[in-house]
């Protein structure tokens, strides 16, 4: 009895990034919204957050002034809720859903695309839990920074008294930087901004540079908090020190 022989090796699958295509129900809209939200507003917030934290390199007074500037926006709580936290929550939860429904096939097909897929999912998950932890400790425990921005530098320094917190900050910065940089590359590929392997490869170097830049800025910022003499996380110390310069 004749039988069809199974291929000795898996069929070749061409590389590339699948574009966003219209599908059934709300899937197409939700995926477009997920892809776009990773750039605006979540990515834009990440850029602002890295820049604002980099003011720590200029000392406690400059950092306090930047925190005070951000907290002085009208309706700041509403802006954060609808412009930052809800978009981040949607991007994260729908990202987890995509991960749950997806198949990476890393073991069977150890190609770069599958490894990048897995890295994007894991870095996103770690970055999300890092942001939850970071926000809870700095915004909702201890002194209220919106009311006392002059205590911000010392409060971050107090976090860094634990080696585990320092390690988690470093991992969080690395994961957020990778996830955002590769997310830009995916966004350009999926939305048809970069067309063809050559264009995507060239843009990949640009995104790599963006990721390394973010890691570098984050590392220098952490170094500033770690090497500056300890500032009390009180509501007057930075204000007093700023008047002395």
Q: Which helix (H) or strand (E) holds 117?
A: helix 112-139
Q: What's residue 19's pLDDT?
A: 57
- pLDDT, tens only, 89-117: 999 999 999 888 875 555 555 567 778 88
Distances (CA, A) of 5 to 8, 12, 100, 176, 241: 9, 17, 33, 47, 80
Contact (Cβ atoms closer than 8 angstroms) between residue 151 and residue 145: yes
**Confidence at residue 239, expressed as pLDDT on a 0 to 100 scale:** 41
Measured CA to CA, the distance from residue 47 to residue 42 in angstroms comes to 9
Mean pLDDT by runs of 10 across the 245 residues of the chain is 48 51 67 94 96 97 96 90 95 93 58 81 96 92 89 94 95 97 94 93 96 98 96 54 39
Nearest to 14 by CA among 159, 164, 197, 145: 197
**Spatial distance between the Cα atoms of 233 and 231, rounded to a whole number of angstroms:** 6
Other CB atoms within a 10 A radius of the CB of residue 81 amount to 12
């Amino acid at each position: 009895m004749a039988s069809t022989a199974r291929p000795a090796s898996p069929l070749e699958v061409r590389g590339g990034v699948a574009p966003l295509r219209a599908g059934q129900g709300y899937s197409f809209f939700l995926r477009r919204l997920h892809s776009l939200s990773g750039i605006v507003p979540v990515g834009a917030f990440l850029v602002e957050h890295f820049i604002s934290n980099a003011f720590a390199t200029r000392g406690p007074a400059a950092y306090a002034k930047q925190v005070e500037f951000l907290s002085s926006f009208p309706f700041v709580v509403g802006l954060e809720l609808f412009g930052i936290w809800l978009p981040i929550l949607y991007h994260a939860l729908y990202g987890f859903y995509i991960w749950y429904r997806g198949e990476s096939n890393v073991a069977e097909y150890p190609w770069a695309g599958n490894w990048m897929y897995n890295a994007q999912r894991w870095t996103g998950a770690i970055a999300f839990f890092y942001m939850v932890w970071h926000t809870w400790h700095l915004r909702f425990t201890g002194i209220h920074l919106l009311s006392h921005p002059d205590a911000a530098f010392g409060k971050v320094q107090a976090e860094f008294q634990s080696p585990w917190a320092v390690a988690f900050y470093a991992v969080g910065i690395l994961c957020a930087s990778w996830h955002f940089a590769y997310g830009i590359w995916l966004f350009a590929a999926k939305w048809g901004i970069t067309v063809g392997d050559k264009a995507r490869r060239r843009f990949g170097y640009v995104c790599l540079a963006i990721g390394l830049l973010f890691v570098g800025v984050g590392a220098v910022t952490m170094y500033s908090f770690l090497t500056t003499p300890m500032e009390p996380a009180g509501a007057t110390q930075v204000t007093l020190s700023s008047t002395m310069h």
